[in-house]
A and B are shown apart, each in its own frame.
Chain A
């Protein structure tokens, strides 16, 4: 018999090494999240999966599951916080969903819809971020980057190329590529790389295939992200890596 913790008053079983988020998803319980990906080591940067444990809060993707924990997630306080985080991401970049080819397949958009985000809530920054179209098959649209580092992790850990990195500090932090010219064309990225497919928003795009999927058949058209995330989650503790 496995140990359990309480999530919003209901028992959730967990295996050793699982995070609260992993255990919750494996048990069919959704906690909103953005930078977490079941195939990569979580690093708790976006904070959307923040939950309350007693008097403190923590990112559930990096919080090790422990027997007897009492976790609050689906409550007004946490959901308001998540909504604000998502709004800040929308305000910080140039997210023009109406003409974005990732619309319907975008985690940020789907999360915003699921959380009931109706406006950015903050004054838009309107940053000036030119696209990098130098590569013959891959487009980089920095306007939509949310700094989740999934491409950074995928390129280093899976592709073993380290094409992407974050540079700068604070509000100036931004995505860069590993080439002296700063152009994607001068890196060794390939269309088949994991880094190309892992972007949750519309930054790393395969060229010339945008809008090929009709409305109604896109990832989040039929199922909200809260249901889709449960389908994607591993049911075992196989990938647990919180304590690595």
Chain B
């Protein structure tokens, strides 16, 4: 079986482009090269925009960075807000925040995990899962879900809303707030704000449990297909708490190989480049990170919910941990390697986020007034966090005039670059090889991408839901067929 990354004689092959991918944030495309018998010879996931933020924050004052870089994304801006803040904590010498600041940031982060996972699962992916990957495209969207499964859609919308309210009370706004500043936070949680959030947290936890069970049920109903869909073996990477617990806000780096063996554990992320490097490939603007110890060929890895749920030792909230154990035990542990296992793992994390929010809301430290600390000024700052889609690294250098002189951001999408490529290649082999292409078949490719990441914007910086345009071009470069559909996924007649 070939890797499908590069065909030996691409000039003789037909090219099909899924450009751009729909129901994802940001601009990505998948290109397929097919021979005369419709056999797939090459598959590539491209991130077609360039990175801009690393350049245009150069020269800006460092305290502006957490507010500016969160504009990378509209789905999980809090990840960038907090990762940048953690890096700048080091710049201002704040190596240990006050309990109030630390817990408020955690609350903000878990609010974001909740809303982002809800959006990912319910709004963007559930249409594929509930209706089928090649179902009627006209209803394969959140509006279709609301019509056919009104209670599922309602809970999805309200779960996201609750997460957004947590963010609003901690960051000042539901999206692109300013709550986290270098060295701490700029507000605490008032009793009125706490009570407002506490009022709804118990039904939210209940709905999160229902969501885990829904994800599991969908898997069970299609066990064979889901288990095989885009399946591949990969190493895993995430932050982990000192005691091995899942911790999405802070920890050391843990990497495990595809058999579950430890590659490294509890590594201080301030030296991440000693463990992780990035490879540039000529056909993509997005780099390909790899574990140095294993090299670029074999060192690529998976990040995100599937990686985190499978290689943490436990989840430190009871309901989510019970679900984790059932997830790992299910069908001999097969789910842990399945691309669609991401959704199930994602819902377990959403349940954990809801439980963590409940615990934090009962903590009186959130009403503390000691918000910011500082210490000896540093030139370099590195912040790392587990964003909804996976590990996120922010790395800055700041000069003596307080201006940023260098920035490096390695976002979750980039960590998963090779893994997503593997998934779409696997799906192409399984579903497209030797068959006449249809919209439904091509959607299988997008289902694989959406399992990882609905928001390529972190790596691309283009916003908006783009229409899908598929072009079939023969070996001579002539267009044989063009298929188009609108941004909401509705079908448009071929022309």
Q: Which of B48-106 contact A (CB under 8 A)?
A: 59-61, 63-64, 66-68, 71, 92
The number of chain B residues touching the other chain, given as a range, is 20 to 34
User: Given A133-B402, A133-B403, A207-B402, are A215 and B61 neighbors across the interface (CB < 8 Å)?
Assistant: no
- CA distance in complex: A131, B403 (Å): 9
Residues of A within 8 A of B402 (CB): 133, 139, 207-208
Q: Are B71 and A215 in contact (CB under 8 A)?
A: no
Residue of A nearest to B64 (CB): A99
Task: Kindly count the residue-residue contacts between A and B in the assembled complex, taking CB atoms under 8 Å apart.
Answer: 59
Chain A interface residue number, banded: 20 to 34
Q: Which residues of B contact A207 (CB under 8 A)?
A: 61, 402
Contact B63 A101, beta carbon cutoff 8 Å: yes
Query: In the complex, which residue of chain B has the Cβ closest to the Cβ of A137?
Result: B402
Q: Which residues of B contact A139 (CB under 8 A)?
A: 61, 402
| B171-202 at interface with A (beta carbon < 8 Å) | 171-173, 176-179, 181, 186-187
Q: A205 to B403: give the CA distance in the assembly, Å.
A: 14
Q: Which of A99, A133, A211 contacts B186 (CB 8 A)?
A: A211
Query: Does B495 count as interface, using CB distance less than 8 angstroms?
Result: no
A211-B67 contact, Cβ under 8 Å, with A139-B61, A216-B172: yes
- How distant is A202 from chain B, measured CB to nearest CB, in Å? 10
What B residues does A68 contact at CB under 8 A? none
A185 to chain B: closest CB distance in Å? 9
Interface of A is mostly: loop
Q: Which residue from chain A places its CB closest to the CB of B178 in the assembled complex?
A: A211
Find chain A residues with CB under 8 A from B63 CB. 101, 208-211
Q: A133-B402, A215-B173 are in contact. Are A210 and B64 (CB under 8 A)?
A: yes
Q: A101 near B71 (CB under 8 angstroms)?
A: no
A131 touches B186 (CB 8 A): no
Most buried by B among A101, A131, A214: A214
B9 in contact (CB, < 8 A): no
Interface residues of A in 195-223 (CB under 8 A from B): 205, 207-216
For the complex, is B281 an interface residue (Cβ under 8 Å from A)? no
Cβ of B401 under 8 Å from chain A: yes
Partner-A contacts on B (CB < 8 A): 59-61, 63-64, 66-68, 71, 92, 171-173, 176-179, 181, 186-187, 372, 401-403
Can you give 20 A-B contacts (C-beta < 8 A)? A98-B67, A98-B68, A98-B71, A101-B63, A133-B402, A134-B401, A207-B61, A208-B92, A210-B61, A210-B63, A210-B64, A211-B64, A211-B66, A211-B67, A211-B186, A212-B181, A212-B186, A212-B372, A213-B186, A214-B179
